[in-house]
Chains A and B, each alone.
Chain A
Amino acid sequence: MKVPDAVDGVVLDEETIAARVRELAARISADYVADDDLVLVGVLKGAFIFLADLTRRLTVHHHVDFIALSSYNRGTVTTGEVRLIMDTRASVTGRHVLIVEDIVDTGSTLDYLLRTFRARNPASLRSCILLSKPTRRQVEVPVDYLGFEIPDVWVVGYGLDYADRFRTLPYIGALKREVHE
């Protein structure tokens, strides 16, 4: 396994992630076994690897849809407000929606997503998040299926990037402090 110079070490290796994704998929499959119309909404770009692995371990019928978000900027600084760039293809009204995200940090993005989708009157609305940094939370958001709680370090890989880099590392690594400071 090649670890780039900018990465300090492996926080979660491939086997650990794969095992946890299987557990999450087993729980989700059990929870939705009686529900007809489940749609997993993956948030681009970060969630695509997690979603690709999670969806293949589900044993229940479901659809997959995607949304893309960006942040509003004031000058060069992000305001933290979220802008929806691409909405889901299909309507979610009356359906069981499971939002799939790579990480919940301050909680503002997930809060935005939950408010947005709740307003569309889904049959149910839950979230499945690979990583959570509880010490960073500013907005209280419910996470129904969580992969791992991690400390407040800058993590990359398995969908997570630093300035669009290191997104496709097959494991989750910690970025060296000097790289992002």
Chain B
Amino acid sequence: MKLWDDVARIMISEQELQARVKELGQELNATYTDEDHPLLICVLKGAFVFLADLIRHLEMRHDVDFMEISSYGAGTASSGVVRILLDLERNIEGRHVLIVEDIIDSGRTLDYITRNLLTRRPASLRVCTLLSKPSRREIDVPVDFVGFEIPDEFVTGYGLDFAEEYRNLPFIGVLKEEIYRNAEI
């Protein structure tokens, strides 16, 4: 069974993604200088594909670091508080920090991560997300760079998963309904 057979339709094609990621890279080039030496923080797992493409367009000196987080469970969902499984390798005090996200949905997790990182006193903190679902937003978290605003549909590919699969689709797609139905049984 081929992976692509499960896709109902492509929402954002590989070419559209690549063109927009390049534009975002140029926006970042216009924002940061070599001197700023920004640190890009990737929140795993979803954003690693986006990050891998984004950095190829950056012209200023920069570093990358990773965080992995997990939810504490049902009771804490509304606070956005998450458990940090992998923290940053280095101190970010005085650094220009850019959080790189795959998608912003309710905004709660991002809001918590932002607050957590701000306690470490970075010189600046901005957010760059590939996708945003504004209709789902519950917390008004500032986002500085947005690839695409999309409607409230369940999307996969380019780092975004459904039950840990389909992350590797090179486009943003919507899965066939039977894939969800089968998973619910």
Contacts and interface: CB of A to CB of B under 8 A. Distances in A.
Interface of A: 2, 42, 44-45, 48-49, 51-53, 55-56, 58-66, 68, 85-86, 89-90, 164-165, 167-168, 170
A161 to B, nearest CB: 9
Contacts of B59: 2
B168 A56 contact: yes
Given A52-B48, A86-B85, A170-B56, A61 B66 contact: no
B62 A59 contact: no
Q: How large is the interface on B (under 10, 10 to 19, 20 to 34, 35 or more residues)?
A: 20 to 34
A167 B64 contact: yes
Interface of B: 1-4, 42, 44-45, 48-49, 51-53, 55-56, 58-59, 61-66, 68, 70, 85-86, 89, 159, 164-165, 167-170
Contacts of A59: 2-4
Contacts of A85: 86
- Which of A64, A66, A85, A164 has the largest number of chain B CB atoms within 10 A? A64
Contact of B49 (A55, A61, A168): A55
Given A52-B49, A86-B68, A61 B165 contact: yes
A48 B52 contact: yes
Nearest to A65: B45
